[in-house]
Structure 1
């Protein structure tokens, strides 16, 4: 006995003679670039060239002998590594970089911790006059640095710290209005229910800040560290005011001394100055590339909630 098939054959659908066939679009069809987008790319490339050219010129000049430093060639005609050997004997560059690293680390860590504590207080706690006090903190950003320059110097002079590295970083222990604003905005973006649940489980104020607020705001903390590290590494004004002995010079102060010694009065050695500039610029470039992902994330997400 033959078994009856379960699936019945589907009748073929005859094409409609009145229907106009639509040709299928090729998936590999190239996209047309609009002239506006092309002009935008050209403008971006031109802007990139304007910003990159000085750095390329600086690196190229560091490999040139004294007579070819200002020939404006991007590729040295007679490349040499002698400048990178001679610079360590011409100036105590290693000592200056060590002083700068110390000041940079202390300044960045101090301002990040102090500013994050103040920002956490403004973001989490509810108290009378909070907005007015926060406005007063932001108002300090409107004061030019020259206004507080002399009073600050008199304070450090009375404490006997003029001529030391302390005035270059110790002021950051009291926070910065800009970083307080930046971190407060980030703290406000964290759901408050997380902290309330942790407090219900028995966490105190310090544990809320240490184990919940700081880990959740890691990108903003890294942005603060990068900003302050760059500011401390390139700061020239305060070293000019407070430092007297060359053994305490930072890199910017040391480069200023090199320009005074080798850049004028007939003692022309600009090849050493540009070489020292390249050596002292590399740490900032490396630091930015290391923290680039967190930097972009922090800038993109800071200030979404206020």
Structure 2
């Protein structure tokens, strides 16, 4: 059965536009030489995949342009990660070369081992100590998990109270908490530091965990979802003899799994990527997190960029793996939050 003329016209436009994008990329990377082909080889594969999909299932021109724009945006988002990963295998001289090389002339696999086992602790005047990234990973993972679990407990209870319980000043207190999101963290830095110093919590896990056990954003995100849960479920739970806590634990929490995972991802990422706060409240190298440990590669005499890129790959890899397995819940949590 012959295709309608409109579909044939759309297919021709899709084909020509994709070929044009490909030619632009080819000539754009022409000055990089033949090694530059590896940079856009992955993009070309995605481009061909898009062409095949559109060819098999014709879409309108608007959708086609949207997919192409997203494809180009995705390419430029992946490019820094590619650069970080590929630079981790270069020599020190090649990592600083200009114009840059998009593929190492020789793979230095020892960079990863050297970056992992390099003496650490020489951060802003600290004496060198024989620490490896194993310790930094342990501190970061332990602090991230404990903080995320604690933030979930506090945020879920607070969000449930603001969403499902009636008490005087509920709306006022909620708006005050939301207004705290507009206060820059630098304003509270000195008061928080002095408080921890008086409690003698500096250089201890308490300084890295307790200040972040409550997240205003998580409270807001969970509260917005909790208010969408039908009141009939609470009435049915009361008939079965369930109280507030049992209703929250056995009904509300299971229904809110995508939103809870989304809030947990944000909390964990915030702690994992934190640099300034751990740098302020810790002085012992064995108490510092992974992000602070990366500063060991930045010295007064210069930076070991090839080792820094290898260590940065260590730091990014767990987050990429976590997001890969939890992206479905992440998207569902964001999509469901504002629904009623």
User: Per the shorter chain, which TM-score range?
Assistant: 0.7 to 0.9
Contact 1:141 1:177 in 2 (8 A): yes
Q: Where do 5+ consecutive residues of structure 2 fail to align?
A: 15-59, 120-131
Counterparts of 2:314 and 2:201 in 1: how far apart (Å)? Answer: 29
Counterparts of 2:9 and 2:330 in 1: how far apart (Å)? Answer: 33
Counterparts of 1:46 and 1:90 in 2: how far apart (Å)? Answer: 38
Counterparts of 1:258 and 1:117 in 2: how far apart (Å)? Answer: 42
Query: Match for 1:73 among 98, 101, 104?
Result: 101
- Measured against aligned partners, the alpha-carbon deviations of 1:172-230 in whole angstroms (never above 9, x if no partner) come to 33x22211111001101111111211111101111111111111111111001111111
Match of 2:225 in 1: 186
Q: How does 1:96-245 map to 2 (within 5 A)?
A: 96-173=136-213, 175-245=214-284
* Aligned partner of residue 186 in structure 2, secondary structure: coil
- Measured against aligned partners, the alpha-carbon deviations of 1:41-70 in whole angstroms (never above 9, x if no partner) come to 443233222221111000000111222113
Q: With structure 1 as the length reference, what TM-score do the two structures score?
A: 0.85
Measured after TM superposition, the shift of residue 39 of structure 1 is: 4.2
* Aligned partner of residue 187 in structure 2, secondary structure: coil
| Pair 1:249 & 2:322 matched | no
- Measured against aligned partners, the alpha-carbon deviations of 1:70-90 in whole angstroms (never above 9, x if no partner) come to 342222111121111212221
Measured after TM superposition, the shift of residue 293 of structure 1 is: 0.7
* Aligned partner of residue 213 in structure 1, secondary structure: helix
Match of 2:321 in 1: 286
Match of 1:303 in 2: 338
* Aligned partner of residue 139 in structure 2, secondary structure: helix
Q: With structure 2 as the length reference, what TM-score do the two structures score?
A: 0.77
Contact 1:114 1:172 in 2 (8 A): no
Measured after TM superposition, the shift of residue 26 of structure 1 is: 4.5
Measured after TM superposition, the shift of residue 114 of structure 1 is: 0.5
For the aligned residue pairs, the C-alpha RMSD in angstroms reads: 2.0
For the pair shown, which has the larger CA radius of gyration, 1 or 2?
Answer: 1
